[in-house]
Structure 1
Amino acid sequence: MTVGERITQHRKNQQLSQESLGEALGVSRQAISKWESDATLPEVEKLVAMSRLFHVPVGVLLGVEEAQPEEPSQLDERQLAMVEEIVSRYLNVREGAQKSQTARQNRKQGLFALAVLMLACAVLLGAYRNLKWKIDGMGDEFRENIERVKSSVEIQMDSLAGRVEDILRAQNQLTAVYAVEREAVDVGADTITFRLSATPKTFEPGMKATFVAESSGTTEQAAQGEGPDFSAELTCPLSDSIALSVCFQRGETLETQLLEVVTGAERGTMLYCSSASYDRERPGGVPEGGLFCIGRNEVGASFSLYDPAYSDAVYAQGAEIGYFVNSKPAFTMEAGPAVTFSSGGDDFEVILPETCFPVEEGDIIVLGAVATDNFSRQFRWAPWACQVKEGELRVVEPPAEWAQ
């Protein structure tokens, strides 16, 4: 049964018409009709108002719980009889205690009276806890149902907003189709070449197009052809952020559309270093006598290309792997490529023996690798770092120069 069918059922159980229900809730008959036909969902406050009007929890209207008979808010006849009997016994015991002359009888009767009182309290406390538990449970279910409705509405609103944004973006675009492809990277010349194409939504004879790249400077390249399909190869300086646009010219009118923002083109390579035996919580021994000591450690490093435009133009010539103090080598080993991939990536591996080297308070110790490519560029990466503080080693994030 749907939410609308449940609303219809409870409305009819209350012998209400759609008009009268709408008047009670402050909405139109058409709104009630849309709810009952499941065309729309009622707002949260309307669901709460209907639950009160129909004398059912909100969860029943939403179909997440079954209707339950109302629990009595007072003690039933059996519980009242128990309480009356307990009170009667207590009064009898009290009267007998007053007539008793011996301490022994007083003690026994007092203990019995105390037991009776404890039993009465237990019965009443149990009834109270049972009632409170049911009320709290109803409150939790009510809050959960409200949160479900709220979450559903928010998801629908976000989805609708996203669709509207996509429609507006498509309407504001000047191009019907466009494409951005990376042709080549010349690391030696510090340039990158793109192949760009764009077709305007509205083409007019005599229209011209120019492709523009903006990074550290501005590079322009006039498009080839008479249209409507314009294309060009554009070579611009390497940069980590390159904005590519197309500019259409109709007579004296110029219109520009951003096509794509290319990121990470300048450093199309990356270095990843891993240690086989380090402990992130305790990276080494505690400094004693100003020495940092650490056991044997197997360390691997990978120099790889994540930009296919680099092809085999970039490769690592070697790597320095080991321990660095304040980014300066403390104990390192030179490593040549162990495996060379067709993509131009290289793997390095070294086994660092047990070693000790001096450190001071505040020093930052890094296990890392420094690789140099065939264009003399250096790449750093560190899997962990620690700092000497108050005579102990404390794990810290590697310094910024060790981040990719």
Structure 2
Amino acid sequence: MTTGEKIAALRKEQGMSQEALGEKLGLSRQAVSKWEADQAVPTMDNLMELSKLFGVPVDTLLRPDAELMPKAEDSDESWPGAENQPVRNENRKWKIAAIAAAGLLCVSVVCSAVSLWRVLAMQQQIDTLRMQSGPSTIYYPDNTSAENSDLADWSENVTVDRQNTENLLVTVSAVPRSMLDGETAKFVVRSGDQSWECDAEDNNGYSGKLSVPFVDTFSVYLTLTGTNGETRNILVTSEYDLEQRFSLNVMAGWESGGISSSFGKTSVSGNLQTLINSNDGEEIQPVSGRILLYQNGKQIKEQKITSLGKEFEGDTYYYTQVDWRDMEGTLSQFKVKVEITDNFGRTYTEDVG
């Protein structure tokens, strides 16, 4: 198992969420998520805290071949066979206790020294692997919610690209704390194994604009390349749950009436209620909608939602009176759906129960 898989397994065994584990460590949920996805490696301080929290040695968390097993607790058993030994006098009892205490202290000191040596050796292995991965390795800070010490200032804005509504438009600026003469800069957006980039304009800091496919999560990096070819990759920010954020939530149901059938004929009649919610406030809005009636999978009727698009406030109900009566066919043949189109031309379809 990888370090991330072990952290995830131990967290779930403790019944903790990523957010709860992050709170115990003083980190964000995103930092824990990156560990568990093996996109980042915890610092040694965080590894020590995880070791204490889950009760496993640090090297067990780091070594892929090490099985997860709890630390051995200090034994509170008496000296083996002590109950069968005759006690000659109080001095002998205290002498034995002193020797036992001294022995335990020596064992504790040796164990602590061995543990410290193993931790230092493991940290050296981690640093060596990081150096071997080269200067172009993407930098993942442990706590993305904290201020990035490599940047003096930054800003980012994400919207739907109006030139291509299948894409997101990312506008970003960043001011590194150190800027070297002759460096070239670009912004890179990474999502999984995909990446997109653009040149960064230098205007008392760097700025850029990218149009990227409509992915659910991504991270933005400022990549600085010096005259000697060395590259610095600085994380600017990360975005999550973008598909939900830039879309409408549509729910529909009958306030009164519905579908009924009698003597081989079916009627759809009543007041249909449609709730539309926008996760991104005013940017994503409904502009048109229809009530659709299907029979055996084929659309046979439709009715426009007339008030839709007016005074939309992000959580709005719309009511449509429907009256389609005495249609040939049984109840099971008919289905009612609501279809909503937003201001970017995207459609959302919801079945009406």
> What's the TM-score bracket when you normalise by the shorter of the two chains?
0.3 to 0.5
What's the TM-score, normalizing by structure 2? Answer: 0.46
What's the TM-score, normalizing by structure 1? Answer: 0.41
For CA contacts below 8 A with separation 6 or more, give which structure has more relative contact order.
2
Structure (1 or 2) with the greater helix fraction = 1
